[in-house]
Structure 1
């Protein structure tokens, strides 16, 4: 089942660091089977900072997205992004085709 990296960025300063990050990120994804699902294009902020953008990357599985994020290649370019925007980033696994919203309640109860 796929794994995802999801980022919410705002107040992005598009400068030489960000350009370098964008020029290098694709090569960090390839070894782990990662690809962009959402990146640029038409986005309308309906909650949160108006300068926000959403990014969604898909990987073959949860382990692959973790391995990508901790890879030396990605860690080398990550500071280029971090010092030029505010962000929240999450790594998540696919919830499954039969998932319904109340399934998360089972997880909360089982964690207690």
Structure 2
């Protein structure tokens, strides 16, 4: 089942380290079937507080998402982001096609 890596990044310092991170991240995603779905697009807050840039990556399944995040290639560049941005990152499994709200009750 499709899985997603979702990040909400704040206080990003756009400097050489973030540029290097952005230049290298795509190559870390490819072996795991990862792709960008959202990358800091315009956000309209409807409820609550939502600050920062939203990034969402899609993967074929949760196993591939975990493998990407734990991969040597990604772990090597991760400090380039964490030293230059504050944020939250999660992995979450999607739902099957046709899922309805009531399905969580059964």
* Alpha-carbon shift at residue 101 of structure 1 (Å): 6.7
Note closer, same or farther for the CA distance 1:72–1:101 as it changes in structure 2 (3 Å cut). farther
- TM-score, reference length from structure 2: 0.87
SS at match of 2:22: helix
- TM-score, reference length from structure 1: 0.83
SS at match of 1:23: helix
* Equivalent in the alignment of 1:48: 50
Hey, what's the Cα distance between the residues in 1 that align with 2:85 and 2:102? 32
* Equivalent in the alignment of 2:15: 15
User: Which 5+ residue runs of structure 1 have no aligned equivalent?
Assistant: 107-112
Which residues in structure 2 correspond to 1:1-112 (within 5 Å)? 1-45=1-45, 47-49=49-51, 52-96=52-96, 97-100=98-101, 103=104
Hey, what's the Cα distance between the residues in 2 that align with 1:54 and 1:36? 11
Note closer, same or farther for the CA distance 1:36–1:16 as it changes in structure 2 (3 Å cut). same
Note closer, same or farther for the CA distance 1:76–1:43 as it changes in structure 2 (3 Å cut). same
Root-mean-square deviation over aligned CA pairs: 1.8
SS at match of 1:28: helix
* Alpha-carbon shift at residue 102 of structure 1 (Å): 7.6
For the Cα contact (< 8 Å) 2:69–2:75, is it kept in 1? Answer: yes
SS at match of 2:6: strand
Hey, what's the Cα distance between the residues in 1 that align with 2:82 and 2:61? 25
